[in-house]
Structure 1
Amino acid sequence: MSSGRLLDGRLKIRHLILTRTIAEAGSVVGAAELLHVTQPVVTRGLREVEEILGVTLFERLPRGVQPTVYGEAFLAHAGAVLAQLRAAEDQIERLRSGDLGTITVGAHFAGSKLLPLAIAGLKKEHPNVVVTVKEAIPEALERQLLTGELDVIVGRLPRRTSDRIRRVKLHEEPFRIAARLGHPIHDHPDPQLADTARFPWILPPEQTRLRTELERVFAEQRVDLPADVVECTSIVTLRDLLHASDMITAVPMFVVEQDPDLRSLAIELSNIRRSVGVMVDAERPLAPVAAILIRHLSDEAARMTADADANRPFAETEGSLPAATAEPGQPSTTGL
């Protein structure tokens, strides 16, 4: 058989169905009954397939037919093709009806504004989707992604990670030092980092990248780390602590902007910023619901960037997402 015969347009899906039905019925007559056509139609269809392949698919017996060695091989592939088509039909129907099952998202608080907006958009479009969000530090989330416990991670993009992880940058997010409205630090006419160290702080755990960067900022300004510290990775707990106490922390800019009870301080943290985006396992097919969530994430990130550019002289943003392909293990301003 010359190369390309099955792809030259002559082989039809009806040929696959016909040959599978003949094999299941065990005879041309039986296949005709199952397909609700006449026997000559089945005979003609079988002859067409055998002419395309250049081999005999069924051995004609006194009572019915039996697949030849060529027939066995072709029928196996025909069954796989039909199964894939049925799966595609089922998936499209689930997409159309909104019944996409579940998605488990790992989140770090750097994506705190982005993720809720994207989930709201996803649920509006597909109300039957069940979304589970798990918060943890980035290192723990990456491990869960690779073990299949998570479908996607939303948050800060680490500088390097496993080559299995594909990372897509959505936007840049700088950090701000913040405290609640009415905090005594806001009474200071020109608060400095040393002034904040007199109050309790909320810090990320030791050995995390943000903790290391904050420690460097304190060291460069010759300020001792606060003695009164709470280590926290949960954005909900962090906000509650800020609202209920005189604690101070460093958080992504959008966390402060979306909370009317918080206010940032004019203390420079220009070297602390994060590329916020999504991470997926490059070795696993992307589920339809994950692709839809990522689309909503990209749309919301573009809106956030546009709003930032329009409402303040914020030169730290990089604009909307260019169309490109993310590289495994490296951050990229791309789409999936």
Structure 2
Amino acid sequence: MDLTRGDIVDGRIKLRHLVCFLEVARLKSVVQASSVLGLSQPAASKTIQELEAILGVELFDRSRRNLILTSYGEVFQRYVGASLTSLKQGVRSIGQAGSAVIFTVGALPTVSASILPAAVMHFTARQLDMTPRILTGPNAFLMSQLRVGEVDLVIGRMAEPEAMRGFAFEHLYSEAIALIVRPGHPLLATPSFDMGAIGGFQMLMPPPGSIIRPIVDRFLVANAIGPLRGGEIETVSDAFARSYVRATDAVWIISQGVVIDDVAHGLLAMLPADTADTLGPVGLTTRADTPPTLPVQLFAQSVRDVVADRAGPG
């Protein structure tokens, strides 16, 4: 069958082929994709091989440790992602006929505790017949959900350039990391803060793969901090980190937005460290190939309004 004809799509291509392709492309691994999809590794491999046979091209370069998209694969990924997103939006539109419109916002921890609650209040106060569904999680998960249309908008720090392929980012503001401790921590009692002293305390760190981990690592190296004599704990759980820091002398390195309210209410304290070099962009991420729906556009405007109000005049 001639796949170059625009009015024909090979009926052998099934939804399972496309979903499996997108997950393998995202994770660069058949093993990891099969785990996410609930398939055996042989089944996932067979699905990709079937798709390549139907298309008549190789979608992945298998000469490296991780599976990398070929030029054909990169083009196909853009169209598959856009197609699945449009399909899901169409199904949602039919399913929501005559009822409130529901859309999904993905929020990274950096905004979940700061601007997001205010943005939701701002949006719902307009009494529109639209219901935001809030989904939180690590960046890789939210971006993958945005790519396949399960999430309509992601708010948070901008991902690494490689992960931003196919997405559009709107910068709203910049924020740095913070060194967080309990009120009354020994490091707060010294007349002049010594950055090197934090290495003697247990550290709560973002795990490898998180957006801010490379930023944290560069910060520690730049300040000659290491090895960490007090040891470290890697966590993505803000609830755990808050409780642990308040009960111990541990130092938690995290984006300022995650803990801004805790510090303002005296539940946690911020060490007077100069973290200006760790500033990173925070904003709105959408698909570049699919226009945002009206509910998403209106919610994005609520986010912008809240950010503008907090920034003040000028």
Normalising by the residue count of structure 2, what TM-score does the alignment of the two structures yield? 0.61
Cα drift, residue 164 of structure 1: 2.0
In structure 2, do the counterparts of structure 1 residues 238 and 292 end up closer, same or farther at CA, with 3 Å as the change threshold? farther
Which residue of the other structure, out of 187, 195, 198, is the alignment partner of 1:196? 198
Q: What secondary structure, in the 3-state scheme, does the structure 1 residue paired with 2:180 have?
A: strand
Cα drift, residue 287 of structure 1: 2.0
What CA distance in whole angstroms lies between the structure 2 residues aligned with 1:265 and 1:191? 8
Equivalent AA in structure 1 for residue 242 of structure 2: R
Which residue of the other structure, out of 248, 253, 268, is the alignment partner of 1:245? 248
What CA distance in whole angstroms lies between the structure 2 residues aligned with 1:283 and 1:243? 45
Q: Determine if contact 1:135/1:234 at 8 Å carries over to the other structure.
A: no
Structure 2: 5+ residue stretches without partners: 1-92
What CA distance in whole angstroms lies between the structure 1 residues aligned with 2:194 and 2:156? 29
Equivalent AA in structure 2 for residue 258 of structure 1: D
Q: What secondary structure, in the 3-state scheme, does the structure 2 residue paired with 1:125 have?
A: coil
Cα drift, residue 209 of structure 1: 4.3
Q: What secondary structure, in the 3-state scheme, does the structure 2 residue paired with 1:106 have?
A: strand
Q: Determine if contact 1:145/1:153 at 8 Å carries over to the other structure.
A: yes
What CA distance in whole angstroms lies between the structure 2 residues aligned with 1:100 and 1:284? 22
Which residue is 2:106 aligned to?
106
In structure 2, do the counterparts of structure 1 residues 256 and 163 end up closer, same or farther at CA, with 3 Å as the change threshold? closer
Task: Please tell me whether residue 144 in structure 1 is matched to residue 145 in structure 2.
Answer: yes
What CA distance in whole angstroms lies between the structure 1 residues aligned with 2:258 and 2:164? 28
Cα drift, residue 151 of structure 1: 0.9
Which residue of the other structure, out of 300, 304, 312, is the alignment partner of 2:306? 300
What CA distance in whole angstroms lies between the structure 1 residues aligned with 2:104 and 2:165? 21
Q: Determine if contact 1:109/1:233 at 8 Å carries over to the other structure.
A: no
CA deviation digits over 1:188-210, x for unaligned, max 9?
22232322222222111114342
What CA distance in whole angstroms lies between the structure 2 residues aligned with 1:285 and 1:100? 20
CA deviation digits over 1:257-291, x for unaligned, max 9?
32221221111111111211011112223122211
Q: Determine if contact 1:100/1:288 at 8 Å carries over to the other structure.
A: no
Equivalent AA in structure 2 for residue 134 of structure 1: L
In structure 2, do the counterparts of structure 1 residues 176 and 106 end up closer, same or farther at CA, with 3 Å as the change threshold? same
Counting matched residue pairs gives 213
Runs of 4+ residues deviating >6 angstroms: none
What CA distance in whole angstroms lies between the structure 2 residues aligned with 1:103 and 1:237? 29
In structure 2, do the counterparts of structure 1 residues 304 and 263 end up closer, same or farther at CA, with 3 Å as the change threshold? same
Equivalent AA in structure 2 for residue 275 of structure 1: P
CA deviation digits over 1:77-123, x for unaligned, max 9?
xxxxxxxxxxxxxx9xx9xx9x6421222111222311111012112
What CA distance in whole angstroms lies between the structure 2 residues aligned with 1:265 and 1:182? 11
Cα drift, residue 298 of structure 1: 0.2
Which residue of the other structure, out of 208, 216, 219, is the alignment partner of 2:218? 216
Which residue is 1:287 aligned to?
293
Which residue is 1:134 aligned to?
135
In structure 2, do the counterparts of structure 1 residues 239 and 212 end up closer, same or farther at CA, with 3 Å as the change threshold? same
Map 1:1-336; keep pairs closer than 5 Å: 100-112=100-112, 113-126=114-127, 129-160=130-161, 161-226=163-228, 227-259=230-262, 260=265, 261-306=267-312
Which residue is 1:45 aligned to?
none
Structural RMSD (CA): 2.6
Structure 1: 5+ residue stretches without partners: 1-90, 311-318, 320-336
In structure 2, do the counterparts of structure 1 residues 299 and 235 end up closer, same or farther at CA, with 3 Å as the change threshold? farther
Cα drift, residue 252 of structure 1: 2.9
Equivalent AA in structure 2 for residue 194 of structure 1: G
Q: What secondary structure, in the 3-state scheme, does the structure 1 residue paired with 2:200 have?
A: coil
What CA distance in whole angstroms lies between the structure 1 residues aligned with 2:270 and 2:253? 9
Equivalent AA in structure 2 for residue 111 of structure 1: V
Equivalent AA in structure 1 for residue 291 of structure 2: P
In structure 2, do the counterparts of structure 1 residues 225 and 295 end up closer, same or farther at CA, with 3 Å as the change threshold? farther
What CA distance in whole angstroms lies between the structure 2 residues aligned with 1:281 and 1:178? 34
Equivalent AA in structure 2 for residue 132 of structure 1: R
Equivalent AA in structure 2 for residue 243 of structure 1: R
Cα drift, residue 304 of structure 1: 1.9
What CA distance in whole angstroms lies between the structure 2 residues aligned with 1:267 and 1:162? 31
Cα drift, residue 178 of structure 1: 1.6
In structure 2, do the counterparts of structure 1 residues 234 and 168 end up closer, same or farther at CA, with 3 Å as the change threshold? farther
What CA distance in whole angstroms lies between the structure 2 residues aligned with 1:252 and 1:215? 13
Q: Determine if contact 1:109/1:234 at 8 Å carries over to the other structure.
A: no
Q: Determine if contact 1:203/1:249 at 8 Å carries over to the other structure.
A: yes
| Rg (Cα) greater in structure | 1
